[in-house]
DNA sequence: TATTTCACG
DNA sequence: GACGTACGTGAAATAC
């Protein structure tokens, strides 16, 4: 690495700090700290700098501010900027601390006397052209744009290259100065031509090309503006000079002046504390290792969700122990095994973990099992390590036969991490794990569903400050990764035994917290834990998929896609990749000259679906072709091509994985494959459901809750009108329309019903008038009128929404019907967008989460009933508000009568729950 | 690896 | 001159 590598390809970002300072001050609400000192502009500028650094990850940057005092322009023209109102005190007071913060963060800060920030940027832009991006909200800077210097407005996300300048202003970047001089600038007191604004300036420049040419032909301009032009001739050169940004200054700036310095953490802590920048202090604390025990940190604790502060204040018994205090035994003899099993029996419960050949639960074979009885005391029982020179191990089949009664003993409690997996794997060996008493993954999930992950390594690191041995550490990674049977016992034992040991410690850590919270404990014990074996059975049962039918659909899709490709090539006049946004951009916006409706944050013209749809509506052929192609390509690659590959060779069925600790709201999720997003909305998509079929002699039964989230809203809000609508079995969208529009049910038009439906959905999502307006394609005021009308008619709903937000603010979390908590740390965020996002989540989570609770309870009830009656019907799929069963023909009548019954009465609400069922040979028919 | 797009409730 | 805008997921493809 030599210093000659100064020629970097990474961008140099030049930030017009002064322009953002003003914009942020005026655009943001007047935030203050508790002492009443204004802080809004500081927040705005710092956030903007963070965003730039994150988006571009530049190696070099310059944050440029105006220096106080006169500049050459004042000498040139004493009246320059004389019209500017003097800076408000609230803004002036923010400047010094802001500059100090920027500097302490390590940003290269430039403040050069005698010149304006613009000129510093202009000069640097020229010097480093080729990799310069200027970040500014000042339109005058557009004059600096060329092929090698681009502009980004970080507040509005508008990106300007030469074409962008042309599109935005109507003149090329080289003519921006002419344009500005003609218009003048009232605020900066730059004189222009009277009565000439942007429209006239553009028109003149289009006709006469340049300012100098306009001045030469000034005599030709007619009317009043012509006179004004001639009157302005004398001062136009001065105006031109005033608006011209200098790019040839001799600046005392070395390249080193443009690189980041390490942040001065102490200074930052002091500044952030002084101005009460809490989220920044938080971020600072995360950086600092170990977390500093300053007063500030303690202060922060009060703001954390209760579960978190509980974690921090209670010292778990199983605090980290040095390795020497752990005793991990490798069980290689029958005597050793017998001793352990005896102790397990006596203990009544134990932590257990299986090691296997594969993560795929259908194919995995057991390689070994580990046990733990108390913290630090664990054993690994290797059964199938088969690397060259592996020690002789106990016979797997014999040991499993000996273990079977223990593992299947419902009264011998098992403690594990994600025991669903262990249950699935043990079933591969004919053992049905019972007595699933504690699952640390679910304990963690119930205590805080918003934690990013609930896997073993993360939980140990986060709660026990213990770094576990990672699988990759002992098995390697990539394609050379060993399967566990190939791992040497010397390494396998500490790894496997640690799993059981620390699972137990995690349980010791979580359990007191759960016991302190009745709601969470019941949710965990009565819903989440009982669901584990049910999900395990659903996964292992799988669903039959007709591979031949999907293959046929793939061929048909391919044919149609080929036609679309051919047509597209003709329209575009060239060959290109229809799946590449980049190539589409080139052809759309450069070759065919379609209008750029929107740009991505990185400044590229967007080719997102809505943009394409809009273009298609404008009558352009190519966007429509590409949209259809995209849709079909998705169906083919994700479903018709991929699903057949995922059919298990042994069972001929597809086995998904349900994840019980992923979705923050309490829903399940499904992966490999995701069977919760099989198409249904389009005819082509729907055909895929025809490939989900019933076994010979069976039918599929689909049972789904009708409008469960709206019903929950009615229940939670207690709104009389809404409750009545459901009690009378009305079409709820029609009833809403009748109420909102003040007409009879019969008089509701399809459009009114559609609007009412959008409002109802919007309510569930915590809508804004803006969102509703976009959904309905009406203007904001009209949407707001609908919302107001709705809330007038359904005052209970309005009160509920307000209470929910208030509760979220007061408690820091919201709850579902069954006490599932969802923490919302952002509910008090200073940044409005962040805070509003949390508010919408607060509205949505109780409804989505209660629906999740209810269907989980229903699954437990249905499973219990099927077992009690020894039926052969299997529950095979769950899709949030729908359950799918594979039913032998002779059970069909009984099952179809009883299952909706069980689902409807899974809970008792103040509204009836409605369940609709369908039966068919395939999933499509069953709907 | 991150982003964009699109499938579902 | 003006924050960003409906909730929750997972998978595939392309761009970086």
A581 CA to C15 C1' distance (Å): 9
Considering all nucleic acid strands, name the nucleotide whose C1' atom is nearest to the C-alpha of residue A677.
Answer: B8
CB of A203 within 8 A of CB of A232? Answer: no
Three-class SS state of A203: helix
Residue A596 C-beta-side C-alpha neighbours within 13 Å: 23
CA–CA gap between residue A594 and residue A614 (Å, rounded): 11
- Closest CA-bearing residue to C1' of C16: A56
A322 CA to C3 C1' distance (Å): 50
Strand C bases within 7 angstroms of protein beta carbons: 1-16
For chain A, 927 residues long, the average pLDDT of each consecutive 10-residue run is 47 88 76 81 86 80 86 76 70 88 91 86 90 86 88 76 80 87 78 80 83 86 79 84 87 85 87 85 65 29 31 37 72 96 96 95 96 96 94 97 98 97 97 98 95 91 92 82 92 96 97 95 96 97 95 92 89 81 76 71 64 77 86 90 92 94 94 93 92 96 96 96 96 95 95 93 90 87 92 95 94 94 90 88 94 97 98 97 97 98 96 96 95
pLDDT of residue A5: 38
CB of A373 within 8 A of CB of A395? Answer: no
A676 CA to C8 C1' distance (Å): 12
> Does the CB of A173 sit below 7 A from strand C?
no
Strands A377-382 and A366-374: antiparallel
Which of residues 331 to 350 on A have a Cβ less than 7 angstroms from any strand C atom?
A: none
Considering all nucleic acid strands, name the nucleotide whose C1' atom is nearest to the C-alpha of residue A670.
Answer: C10
CA–CA gap between residue A437 and residue A415 (Å, rounded): 6
A920 CA to C12 C1' distance (Å): 31
Considering all nucleic acid strands, name the nucleotide whose C1' atom is nearest to the C-alpha of residue A611.
Answer: B5
Residue A337's Cβ-count burial label (10 Å; 0-12, 13-18, 19+) is: middle
Q: How far is CA A805 from CA A520, A577, A837, A841, in A?
A: 21, 47, 12, 10
A337 CA to C14 C1' distance (Å): 54
> Does the CB of A136 sit below 7 A from strand C?
no
Across A374-400, b (16+ Cβ under 10 Å) vs e yields: ebbbbbbbbbbbeeeebeebbebeebb
Three-class SS state of A260: coil
CB of A19 within 8 A of CB of A155? Answer: no
A258 CA to C16 C1' distance (Å): 25
pLDDT of residue A3: 39
CA–CA gap between residue A478 and residue A687 (Å, rounded): 37
H or E segment and range at residue A769: helix A769-776
Q: What pLDDT, in 10s, does the model give residues A569-580?
A: 888 888 888 877
Q: Which residues contact A770 (CB under 8 A, 6 or more apart)?
A: A780, A783
CA–CA gap between residue A269 and residue A266 (Å, rounded): 5
**Domains of chain A, CATH where assigned:** 9-171+253-257 (3.40.50.1010), 324-517 (3.30.420.10), 543-651 (1.20.1060.10), 709-846 (1.10.150.20)
**Angle at Cα A437 formed by Cα A658 and Cα A815, nearest 5°?**
60
CA–CA gap between residue A56 and residue A54 (Å, rounded): 6
CA–CA gap between residue A274 and residue A699 (Å, rounded): 69
Work out the number of other CB atoms within 10 angstroms of the CB of residue A458.
14
What does the DSSP 8-state code read for residue A645? H
A463 CA to C3 C1' distance (Å): 36
Q: Which residues contact A446 (CB under 8 A, 6 or more apart)?
A: A514, A520, A523, A524, A528, A820
Residue A400 C-beta-side C-alpha neighbours within 13 Å: 21
A836 CA to C4 C1' distance (Å): 9
DSSP string, A274-293: HHT-HHHHHHHHHHSSSPP-
What does strand B contact on the protein, if contact means CB under 7 A? Answer: A 581, 600-602, 606-609, 612, 627, 630-631, 634-635, 638, 676-682, 685, 848, 879-882
A641 CA to C12 C1' distance (Å): 12
Strand B bases within 7 angstroms of protein beta carbons: 3-9
A837 CA to C5 C1' distance (Å): 8
Which of residues 724 to 783 on A have a Cβ less than 7 angstroms from any strand C atom?
A: 758, 761-762, 765-768, 770-772, 774-775
CA–CA gap between residue A246 and residue A126 (Å, rounded): 10
Considering all nucleic acid strands, name the nucleotide whose C1' atom is nearest to the C-alpha of residue A23.
Answer: C1
Q: Which residues contact A402 (CB under 8 A, 6 or more apart)?
A: A337, A341
Strand order in the sheet with A543-545: A653-654, A543-545, A692-693
Q: Please measure the distance between the N-terminal and C-terminal CA atoms of chain A and give it in whole angstroms.
A: 65
- Closest CA-bearing residue to C1' of C12: A638
pLDDT of residue A794: 95
A51 CA to C2 C1' distance (Å): 19
Residue A669's Cβ-count burial label (10 Å; 0-12, 13-18, 19+) is: middle
- Closest CA-bearing residue to C1' of C1: A23
Q: What pLDDT, in 10s, does the model give residues A114-140?
A: 888 888 999 999 988 888 889 888 888
A652 CA to B1 C1' distance (Å): 34
SS3 per residue for A830-893: CCHHHHHHHHHHHHHHHHHHHHHHHHHHHHHHHHHHHHHCCCCCEEEEECCCEEEEEEEHHHHH
What is the rounded radius of gyration, in angstroms, for the C-alpha atoms of chain A? 34
- Closest CA-bearing residue to C1' of C15: A582
CA–CA gap between residue A690 and residue A927 (Å, rounded): 11
> Does the CB of A579 sit below 7 A from strand C?
yes
pLDDT of residue A842: 94
Residue A156's Cβ-count burial label (10 Å; 0-12, 13-18, 19+) is: exposed
pLDDT of residue A83: 61
CA–CA gap between residue A104 and residue A262 (Å, rounded): 8
The closest alpha carbon to A127, from A260, A259, A254, A261, belongs to A254
């Amino acid at each position: 690495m030599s210093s000659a590598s100064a020629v970097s390809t990474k961008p140099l970002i030049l930030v017009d700090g002064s322009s953002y300072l003003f914009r942020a001050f005026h655009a943001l609400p007047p935030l203050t700290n508790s002492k009443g000192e204004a802080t809004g502009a500081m927040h705005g500028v710092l956030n903007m700098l963070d965003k730039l650094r994150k988006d571009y990850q530049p190696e070099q940057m310059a944050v440029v501010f105006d220096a106080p005092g006169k500049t050459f322009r004042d000498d040139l023209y004493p009246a320059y900027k004389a019209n500017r109102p003097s800076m408000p005190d609230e803004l002036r007071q923010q400047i010094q601390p802001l500059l100090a913060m920027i500097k302490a963060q390590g940003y290269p800060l430039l403040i050069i006397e005698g010149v304006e920030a613009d000129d510093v940027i202009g000069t640097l832009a020229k010097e480093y052209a080729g990799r310069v991006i200027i970040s500014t909200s000042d339109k005058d800077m557009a004059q600096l744009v060329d092929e090698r210097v681009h502009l980004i407005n970080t507040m509005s996300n508008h990106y300007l290259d030469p074409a962008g300048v042309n599109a935005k202003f109507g003149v090329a970047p080289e003519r921006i100065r002419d344009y500005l001089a003609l218009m003048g600038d009232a605020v900066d007191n730059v004189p222009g031509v009277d009565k000439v604004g942007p429209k006239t300036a553009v028109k003149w420049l289009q006709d006469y090309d340049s300012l100098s040419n306009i001045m030469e032909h000034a005599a030709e301009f007619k009317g009043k503006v012509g006179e004004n032009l001639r009157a302005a001739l004398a001062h136009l050169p001065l105006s031109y000079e005033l608006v011209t940004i200098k790019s040839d200054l001799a600046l005392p700036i070395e390249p080193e002046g443009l690189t980041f310095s390490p942040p001065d953490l102490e200074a930052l802590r002091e500044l952030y504390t002084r101005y009460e920048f809490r989220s920044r202090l938080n971020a600072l604390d995360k950086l600092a290792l170990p977390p500093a025990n300053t007063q500030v940190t303690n202060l922060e604790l009060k703001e954390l969700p209760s579960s978190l502060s509980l974690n921090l204040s209670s010292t778990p018994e199983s605090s980290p122990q040095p390795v020497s205090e752990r005793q991990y035994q490798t069980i290689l003899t029958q005597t050793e095994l017998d001793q352990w099993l005896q102790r397990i029996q006596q203990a009544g419960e134990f932590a257990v973990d299986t090691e296997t050949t594969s993560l795929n639960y259908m194919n995995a074979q057991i390689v070994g099992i580990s046990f733990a009885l108390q913290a630090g005391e664990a054993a690994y029982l290797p059964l199938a390590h088969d690397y060259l020179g592996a020690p002789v191990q106990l016979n797997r089949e014999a040991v499993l036969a000996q273990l079977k009664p223990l593992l299947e003993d419902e009264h011998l409690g098992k403690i594990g991490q994600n025991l669903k997996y262990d249950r699935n794997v043990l079933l591969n060996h004919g053992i049905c794990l019972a007595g699933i008493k504690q699952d640390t993954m679910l304990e963690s999930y119930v205590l805080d569903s918003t934690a990013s992950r609930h896997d073993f390594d993360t939980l140990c690191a986060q709660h026990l400050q213990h770094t576990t041995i990672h699988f990759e550490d002992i098995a390697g990674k990539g394609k050379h990764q060993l399967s566990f049977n190939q791992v040497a016992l010397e390494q396998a034992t500490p790894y496997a035994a640690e799993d059981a040991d620390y699972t137990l410690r995690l349980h010791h850590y979580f359990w007191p917290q759960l016991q302190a919270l009745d709601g969470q404990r019941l949710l965990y014990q009565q819903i989440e834990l009982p669901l584990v074996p049910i999900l395990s059975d659903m996964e292992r049962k799988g669903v039959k998929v007709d591979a031949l039918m999907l293959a046929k659909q793939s061929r048909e899709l391919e044919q149609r896609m080929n036609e679309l490709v051919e047509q597209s090539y003709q329209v575009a006049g060239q060959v290109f990749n229809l799946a590449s946004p980049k190539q589409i951009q080139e052809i759309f916006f450069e070759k065919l000259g379609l209008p750029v409706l929107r740009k991505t944050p990185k400044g590229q013209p967007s080719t997102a679906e809505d943009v394409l749809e809009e273009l298609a509506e404008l009558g352009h052929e190519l966007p429509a072709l590409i949209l259809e192609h995209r849709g079909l390509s998705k169906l083919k690659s994700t479903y018709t091509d991929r699903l057949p590959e995922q059919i298990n060779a042994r069972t001929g069925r597809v086995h998904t994985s349900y994840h019980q600790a992923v979705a923050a709201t309490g829903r399940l999720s499904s992966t490999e494959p995701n069977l919760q997003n099989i198409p249904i909305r389009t005819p082509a998509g729907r055909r895929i459901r025809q490939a989900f079929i019933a076994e010979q002699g069976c039918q599929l039964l689909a049972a789904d809750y009708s409008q469960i989230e709206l019903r929950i809203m009615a229940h939670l809000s207690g709104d009389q009108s809404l409750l009545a609508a459901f009690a009378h079995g009305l079409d709820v969208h029609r009833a809403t329309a009748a109420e909102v529009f003040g007409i009879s049910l019969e008089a509701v038009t399809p459009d009114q019903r559609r609007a009412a439906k959008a409002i109802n959905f919007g309510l569930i999502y915590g809508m804004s008038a803006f969102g509703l307006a976009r959904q309905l394609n009406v203007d904001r005021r009209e949407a707001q009128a609908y919302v107001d009308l709705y809330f007038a008619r359904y005052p209970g709903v309005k009160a509920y929404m307000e209470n929910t937000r208030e509760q979220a603010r007061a408690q820091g979390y919201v709850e579902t019907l069954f006490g599932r908590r969802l923490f919302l740390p952002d509910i008090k965020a200073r940044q409005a967008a962040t805070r509003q996002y949390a508010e919408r989540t607060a509205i949505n989570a109780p409804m989505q989460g209660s629906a999740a609770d209810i269907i989980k309870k229903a699954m437990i009830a249905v499973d219990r009933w099927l077992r009690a009656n020894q039926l052969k019907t299997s529950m095979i799929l769950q899709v949030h508000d729908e359950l799918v069963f594979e039913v032998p023909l002779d059970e069909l009548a009984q099952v179809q009568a009883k299952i909706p019954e069980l689902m409807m009465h899974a809970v008792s609400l103040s509204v009836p729950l409605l369940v609709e069922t369908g039966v068919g040979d395939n999933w499509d028919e069953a709907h």
